[in-house]
Amino acid sequence: MIEADEDRADAFFHALADRTRRDILRRVLAGEHSVTALAASYPMSFAAVQKHVAVLERAGLLSKRRQGREQLASGDVEALRSVASMLTELEDVWRGRIARIDELIQED
């Protein structure tokens, strides 16, 4: 993995390592939500919810646009596909290990 991918992985998984952020992401993937409406869904301050939205935005998982006084947030499906492809690389690591066992055994 190249450095930029690893930085991206860090940002993605930091963003996803929080229950509220996963919940927010689930909602905005299903459709655009105003940050105000999102904030009303959680027992925390508007500022706290706004912070969670910002973390998701920095990780490239969510994008925002402005409509009048409202900020509208939606999930970025493409970015999620990138996460999925990184996870698939983990499978390759595992397969590599098994292939090396096979190689080692065949040396006997």
Minimum separation from the CB atom of position 36 to other proteins (A)? 20
Minimum separation from the CB atom of position 21 to other proteins (A)? 10
Identify which of residues 70 and 106 has a Cβ nearer to other proteins in the complex: 106
For the chain, give the DSSP string: --HHHHHHHHHHHHHHTSHHHHHHHHHHHHS-EEHHHHHHTSSS-HHHHHHHHHHHHHTTSEEEEEETTEEEEEE-HHHHHHHHHHHHHHHHHHHHHHHHHHHHHHT-
Positions that interact with other proteins (CB under 8 A): 1, 6, 9-10, 13-14, 16-17, 19, 22-23, 25-26, 29, 80, 83-91, 93-102, 104-106, 108
